[in-house]
Every structure is written in C-alpha cells, then in structure tokens.
A and B are shown apart, each in its own frame.
Chain A
Amino acid sequence: MERANSIIEAKNLSKKFGSFTAVDNVSFQVEKGEFFGLLGPNGAGKTSVIRMMYGFSPLSSGSMKVFGLDIKTGWRDIRSRIGVCQQENTLDPDLSVEKNLIVFAGYYRVPRKEALQRTDELLDFFALNHKRQDQVSQLSGGMVRRLMLARSMINNPSLIILDEPTTGLDPQSRHQVWDKMHDLRSRGMTLVLTTHYMEEAANLCRRLIIMDKGRILVQGGPEELIHRYAGTSVIEVENPGRDLKEFIRQKKIRHEELINRLIVYTDDLDGLGRVIRDRFCPEKCLFRSGTLEDVFLRLTGRELRE
C-alpha cells in the first residue's frame, strides 16, 4: 500500500549478523506528522531497525525508503534532513554545551549565523541556557538527554529518530522530556521512537509496533491494541480459588494464570466484573484499566530476557 504521505517505508527489512538474524522480514510505514513507536524486549531488533533507518547499518535484504529516497543511494540527503538521538550518550565531552550544538551544526553545513541562532533557540527550548558554557561532564542525566535531543534538532529536521530517549532518567526528567515531545507533536513533527516504557508509548505514539526476536508481532494504535489483545478492563485476583479458575476456563474468558495470581482481561466490567467481585474474591481483587503493558507482556511473554 503506497501512500503519498509516507515519510518512512520499510519493506521486508532484514538484518543478519553472521548466522544470527536480528531483524527478520519487517515492513512498516510512518506517515507525516505521526509519532511512531517501536516496542519490544531487549534484543528484539529495535536498534537494528533504527540504524538501518538512518543508513548506519547496511541492509541484509529488503528496502528502506525515507522521504521517498532509497537509503542505499540517498543516505547523505536523508541524513541531512533527519535528526538522530542515539541510545548512548554520544555528546562530545571535549566541548562545552553550546559548542556541542555549534560544532554539530557544521557537520550539516548549517551556515554559522543560522547555527548560532538555532543553538540559542534550542538551548531555550530545552531549558539549558544557564548551562551553555558548562562542560558536558558537569550535566545531570536529564540534561544530557535534553542536550542530545537539542543536538538532534540542530539541522531543523523533518523527522526525528529517538532510540530510548528516557531510559535511565528520574521521573522528573522523564516528564520534562515528555513535555518537550508533546510540544513537538503539536508542531507537526514526525518522530520515531523506541522505548521500554509502555506508558511513554501509549501517551506519545499514534501508532506502534511490538517486536520480538526480530519480527513484528502486532501493529496498530495503542487503544486498538489494548482492546484487541488485552481488554479495556483487567481484574487481578490474588490466590484465586479452583472454582474461579474453572469458571474462567469454562466461559473461555481471556486470562493468564500466574503463580498465586490470576489476570482476567475483559471488556465487560459491569457483568463479569461484578460476578467475580461477588463470588470469587477470597482475598484481594484489583480492578484496573487495561494497559499497553498488558498487551506487551501477553505477546512477548513474562520470561526474563538476556
């Protein structure tokens, strides 16, 4: 399905490292003005997809088009129009905060006057103006992230790619980064992000894919995925009795049995919820809304990765 507004078009994308397949036949599209999420446990292949997106990693097979240009031939043009915020801190520790932005602008051939002006704007936008002469090593984790984000926008990109932008941040810093991203969204920016925080994806992304072991498991909007793979409501029962388990199984209600805990997914809180509350709550029952985390855990399993 070709759409005129597609900013990114990945078709049958694969990435192999020797005999290991990191990305296995992945296809997706990102539309203009969309916030698009790439979710998955560690080692799912998210970063590999991202690296193919900006032409860092060569494709093993398939095709990747950004702004309608093939990444293999148009990588330089594509990179000049996107901003990338990598997972690790790749700021230049030999330079001050301000110089990090100005020097980086040089790599995009931004004229000096414009570079200085954009540096001022971005330091303002990301609340780093008071630190502009500081060395990068003096910044807190949250400031480092904000400076990474600022740097990824120095060339005035039409697309921003963020690899785990809030990993390792304290809640205050995380919320500050989210605020900035909401701001960008309202300005019509197109953005791709990977994340481990389901709350982040549900909040920010209009559409997302959940990957595991290099493949796409599901693709859709957060609400739609919750509705389809979990339920609008979730009931967690501690130490469930055998009668409840039988009742659930008999009625073929979507559920998960864990050690000492039963999780029931339902759209029928009034009917089923009441029945469970009245008849089967020996100790403690928790009634809550379904979340993307439920979808994620149901689809990718609960075993530890790595």
Chain B
Amino acid sequence: MKKFNLTLLFYPVWKRNLIVYRRIWKVNFLVPLFEPLFYLAAFGVGLSGLIGDVVYSGQELSYIRFIAPALLATAVMFNAFFETTFASFVRMYYQKTFDAMLSTPLSLEEVITAEIVWGATKSMMAAAIILVVISAFGYVTYPWGLMVVPLAFIGGLGFGSVGMFFTGITPSIDMFNLPMFLFVTPLFLFSGTFFPVSGLPVWGQYLALASPLYHLVELTRLLTMGRMESDPFISLAYLLGFGLLFYFLAIRAMRKRLIK
C-alpha cells in the first residue's frame, strides 16, 4: 500500500472534526475574537507610545497598524499548528480515532489530509474573525482584504502540514514543547511581525526569508494595506512549496508511525 491513496473520502473525516467543533462553537469563537484585541491593546496602546511610527516599505505607519496584519498571520500559524499537533496527537494516540478510521474504507492519506485541511479550516475561520476585528479599526482596505481568507487557508495547509509532521515523529505529547519553543516561537518573533525585517542585519534578513511565516505576514500586509517589502509571487510560491514539502513528509512520518 505504498501507492498514494487519496480520494474525496477525506471529506467525512473533515466533517467529523467540524461536528465536534460545532458542539462548542461559541467557545471556539471567543479565542480568535479576543486574542487579537488583547494584542492590539497591549502593543498598540501600551507600546506604541514608546515606539512611535514604523517605516515599512517606504511608508510611515502607526505601530498598531503595522502589527495588525501580522497578528492575523500568526493566528493562522497557531491555529493550524495547534490543531495538527496537540489535537491530532490526542485523536491519534489517546482516542485511537485513526485506528478506528483505518478499519473503514478510508486510507491513511485521507485521514491525514483531512486533519491538515481541518487545521487550515480553523486558520481560515480565525482569520475571518480577526479580519472583522481589525476592519473595525479601519486597518483593512477592501475588496482585496477579503483575499486574506483564502490566503489563510493556504497558510493553514502549510503550518498544518508541519504540525502533522511533528505529530508523526514525536514520541509523547510533552515533547511538543520542542517544536513549540524552537520552531514556532522564533517564527512568531522574527518574521517581520513586531518589527520590519529591513531593520535587521543582512544575515538576519536572509534568515527571515526562510521563514514561512514571514511570507505569510508579507502577503497579509499586501492584501490588507496594499504594501509589502518583497515579491508577492515569490512569497506565495515559497508558502506553497513549503506546504507541499511538509505535506509529503507528514504523510510519510504518519505512515511509518501508524502502519505496523
């Protein structure tokens, strides 16, 4: 069964996650609603007085305006990554949900794909809520701003795939601290989120270019305020390539882990 078996049968698995999500959807909506508000309050109101304006892509922006799109992009990362690490691990390891599914006509590829697509769906929903929040502050220009929603899905597929890859190779749930603090946290801090990458030394700029979150932040800025530092096509290609690579790595890791 080394062949790649993927059909639309991944849909019922995706739907299973949606059914579970809907049970407590009000709670699930609160986090993406309030989290950006807290950040905007802390950084925008608290910090921006100290920092003043930021020069980004040749334009002076208030600090809060600068970080608002980045907060949306990091939420995309966190939502997908949490879903395919902690939540998928619980389903796989503690609840044996995947074992049950693999006794039905579902293939391993379908189960894993559904988990990743579900992670991307959560990213997309979070992005939509945050988009509404920062639109209320007037930080989004339309109609291009709406494209953030499909972008969040693409970004979610990428970060969901990395998360699933870690789930495939992580021996126990406590070990997720490693990718959390050594992969996600540096991305969160150094991807042009809280300060422009152009302010970094050259080596730092190159490092930021390797960060998938940097490209997602850039594209989000482009779509919400019509400006970015880098090339949109390169950023999009990088994001897609990154996602595709880790998608196949994730499938391979999970096959090794589950099929005995």
Contacts and interface: CB of A to CB of B under 8 A. Distances in A.
Interface of A: 17, 51, 54-58, 72, 75-77, 79-80, 84, 86, 88-95, 99, 103-104, 106-109, 155
Instruction: Determine chain A's interface SS by DSSP, over half rule.
Output: loop
B19 A99 contact: yes
A79 B104 contact: yes
A90 B99 contact: yes
B260 A57 contact: yes
B7 to A, nearest CB: 9
Interface in B83-140: 95-97, 99-107
Interface stretch (B8-16, B67-75, B208-216, B239-247): B8-16
B231 to A, nearest CB: 43
B104 A107 contact: yes
A157 B145 CA distance: 50
B103 A106 contact: no
A80 B95 CA distance: 23
A57 B104 CA distance: 14
Given A86-B96, A86-B103, A92-B100, 7 more contacts: A51-B260, A75-B1, A91-B100, A95-B20, A103-B15, A106-B12, A155-B104
Contacts of A106: 12, 15-16
Interface in B222-260: 259-260
The 4 closest A-B pairs by CB, nearest first: A106-B12, A90-B100, A84-B103, A107-B104
B260 A92 contact: no
A103 B1 contact: no
A90 B106 CA distance: 15
Contacts of A108: 104-105
Contact of B260 (A17, A75, A86, A99): A17
A103 B19 contact: yes
A88 B100 CA distance: 10
A76 B97 contact: no
A80 to B, nearest CB: 4
A152 B46 CA distance: 58
Interface residues of B, number: 24
8 contacts: A72-B1, A88-B99, A92-B97, A94-B95, A103-B16, A103-B19, A104-B100, A107-B106
A54 B102 CA distance: 9
Contacts of B104: 79-80, 104, 107-108, 155
A80 B103 contact: no
A88 B105 CA distance: 20
B147 to A, nearest CB: 32
Contact of A76 (B16, B20, B105): B105
Contacts of B107: 76
Contacts of B100: 86, 90-92, 104
A75 B103 CA distance: 10
A79 B12 contact: no
A155 B260 CA distance: 25
A12 B19 CA distance: 44
Contacts of A72: 1
Nearest to B21: A94
A89 B102 CA distance: 14
A47 B47 CA distance: 61
A58 B259 contact: yes
B190 to A, nearest CB: 36
B95 A93 contact: yes
Given A17-B260, A58-B1, A99-B19, A107 B105 contact: yes
A57 B15 contact: no
Given A56-B102, A104-B104, A88 B96 contact: yes
